[in-house]
């Protein structure tokens, strides 16, 4: 056999060995795998849970992904996830669609509380805002577009930074801040809001932009931004986001964080959810900047 032929056959043999080894490789060394998808607000929390749970149960693999609450709901319907993280309550149509696609009822688990903070740039002198003012700023057809309409101390156009439209945070903020139109329909957001992909992106953007106002979970605060105290009515004292006020409801924009499964979860999934609701899991909730259940 000539040298060239030997070389060719050697390469072919090597390729065959490599391909077969990779296909047969023990990649699934885990006894069980739990797929988690959904809320971007919760993705850091979900990943922290996944990494901590790996130390608790070595043979269970938890794959946590983000993508937005809407993505998680879609995955639940398409049966490509076991758990859907949601930063808002499931909508009726979503529950119905899940039932029709998978044949199972949705099960809901409340795992934490969160407060939605209104972030502004540190150079912004404003410290308080009320929900009606927020409505006029954020909703379609709202009257407030410049900072001096809110507070004469600050000038310039209000640059609005929000989340993408599949996000549970987007849905929640819209439902509770944008209010209703005259014929009782939910008002949409105004157009022209930057729709950013991820809770931390909002915060980073606000940190770099002097005139920005953005909404995101309170767990994403960095020392490059500041948050506003929010009051229910104009003139009232505003409340800063915090664990107690989020749980008690004193902070106007507080919400629950949910886990959804299609039907009763499998034993290992149930064990995981139970662990999340236990003190060990709730400690991680607190570490990540959210509000534990008790």
Partner 1 sequence: MSGTKATPKKAFNFFDAVEKPTEWLIRLCGWSSIIGIAAIFLFIFKEAAPMVPRLDWFHLFTSSRWIPNPAPGNEASFGALALLVGTFTTTFIGLVVAVPVGLGAAIYISEFATGKMKETLKIVIELLAAIPSIVWGFIGLMVLGPLVSQIFSAEPESVWSHIMVTLHLASSDTGAAQGTNLLTGGVILALMSVPLIVSLSEDALRAVPDTFREAALALGANPWETVRRVLLPAARNGLLAACMLGMGRAVGETMAVLLATGHSNRIPLALTDPVRTLTATIAAEMGETVHGDDHYRVLFILGIVLFVITCGINVASDFIVKGVKKANQA
Partner 2 sequence: MNPPPQTPAQRPAPRDPAPETDVLGTPETRLRTAGAPLGSTGASVPAPAAGVAGADNPFAATPFERTKRRRLKWNRWMMFGFCIILIVPLVAILADIFIKAAPVLSLDYLWANPENKGKGGGIWAPLVGTFYLVIGSLFFVAPIGILAAIYLNEYAKEGWLNRTIGITVTSLAGVPSIVHGLFGLGAFVLTMLPAINGALGLTSHKLEAGLLTASLTIAVMNLPVVITSTREALGAVPQAFREACWNLGATRWQTIRTIVLPNSFSGILTGIILVVSRAAGETAPILFTGVTFFKFVADEGLAKIFPYHPGEPFMAMSMHLNIISNQISRMPENMKYGSAAVLIALILFINSFAIVLRVWLRGRKRW
What counts of helices (H) and strands (E) characterise the chain?
11, 11
Name the DSSP letter for residue 186: B
Query: Residues 3, 28, 55, 157: which binds partner 1 (CB under 8 A)?
Result: 157
**Scanning the structure block, which residue is given the tokens 């004292």?**
237
Q: Shortest CA distance to 118 belongs to which of 102, 133, 106, 99?
A: 133
Q: Give CA separation, 290 vs 191, 217, 230, 281, in Å.
A: 30, 8, 18, 12
47 contacts partner 2 (rule: CB under 8 A): yes
Q: Which helix (H) or strand (E) segment is 199 a member of?
A: helix 199-208
Size of the site for partner 1 (CB under 8 A): 41
26 contacts partner 2 (rule: CB under 8 A): yes
Q: Shortest CA distance to 265 belongs to which of 75, 40, 105?
A: 105
- The stretch near partner 2 (CB under 8 A) out of 20-28, 94-102, 249-257, 266-274 is 20-28
136 contacts partner 2 (rule: CB under 8 A): no
CA dihedral 149, 152, 155, 157 (to 10 degrees): -10
188 contacts partner 1 (rule: CB under 8 A): yes
124 contact choice in partner 2, partner 1, none (CB below 5 to 8 Å, kind-dependent): none
- The answer to whether residues 176 and 165 touch, using CB atoms and an 8 Å cutoff, is no
The residues facing 62 across adjacent strands are 34
User: Cβ neighbours of residue 20 under 8 Å, at least 6 residues apart?
Assistant: none
Closest approach, Cβ 21 to partner 2, in A, equals 6
51 contacts partner 2 (rule: CB under 8 A): yes
Query: Residues 39, 200, 231, 282: which binds partner 2 (CB under 8 A)?
Result: 200
CA distance 194 to 119: 14
Measured in whole angstroms, how far is the alpha carbon of residue 80 from the centre of its chain?
18
Residue 54 or 91: the one with the smaller Cβ distance to partner 1 is 91
191 contact choice in partner 2, partner 1, none (CB below 5 to 8 Å, kind-dependent): partner 1
282 contact choice in partner 1, partner 2, none (CB below 5 to 8 Å, kind-dependent): none
Residue 222 or 248: the one with the smaller Cβ distance to partner 1 is 222
Residues in the chain: 294
Site string for partner 1, 30-69 (x = CB under 8 A): -------------------------------------xx-
40 contacts partner 2 (rule: CB under 8 A): yes
CA distance 279 to 179: 37
Residues that bind partner 1 (CB under 8 A): 67-68, 70-71, 73-74, 77-78, 91-93, 97, 155-157, 159, 164-166, 170-171, 174-175, 178, 185-188, 191-197, 205, 208-212
Residues that bind partner 2 (CB under 8 A): 21-23, 25-29, 40, 44, 47, 50-51, 54, 61-66, 80, 196-201, 203-204, 220, 222
């Amino acid at each position: 056999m000539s040298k060239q032929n030997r070389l060719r056959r050697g390469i072919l043999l090597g390729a065959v060995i490599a391909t077969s080894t990779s296909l047969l490789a023990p990649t699934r060394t885990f006894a069980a795998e739990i797929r988690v998808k959904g809320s971007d607000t919760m993705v850091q929390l979900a990943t922290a849970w996944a990494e901590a749970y790996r130390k608790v149960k070595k043979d269970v693999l938890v794959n946590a992904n983000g993508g937005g609450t809407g993505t998680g709901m879609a995955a639940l319907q398409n049966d490509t996830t076991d758990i859907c993280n949601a930063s808002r309550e499931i909508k009726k149509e979503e529950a119905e669609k899940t039932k029709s696609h998978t044949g199972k009822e949705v099960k809901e688990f409340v795992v934490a509380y969160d407060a939605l903070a209104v972030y502004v740039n540190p150079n912004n002198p404003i410290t308080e805002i009320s929900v009606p003012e927020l409505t006029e700023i954020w909703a379609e057809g709202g009257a407030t577009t410049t900072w001096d309409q809110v507070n004469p101390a600050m000038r310039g156009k209000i640059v609005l930074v929000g989340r993408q439209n599949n996000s549970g945070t987007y849905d929640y903020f819209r439902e509770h801040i944008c209010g209703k139109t005259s014929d009782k329909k939910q008002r949409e957001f105004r157009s022209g809001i930057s729709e950013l992909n991820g809770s931390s992106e909002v915060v980073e953007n606000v940190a770099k932009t002097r005139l920005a106002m953005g909404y995101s979970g309170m767990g994403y605060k960095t020392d490059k931004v500041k948050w506003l105290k929010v009051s229910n009515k104009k003139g009232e004292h505003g409340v800063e986001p915090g664990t107690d006020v989020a749980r008690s409801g004193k902070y106007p924009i507080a919400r629950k964080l949910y886990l959804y499964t299609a039907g009763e979860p499998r034993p290992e999934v149930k064990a995981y959810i139970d662990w999340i609701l236990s003190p060990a899991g709730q400690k991680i909730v607190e570490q990540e900047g959210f509000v534990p259940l008790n």
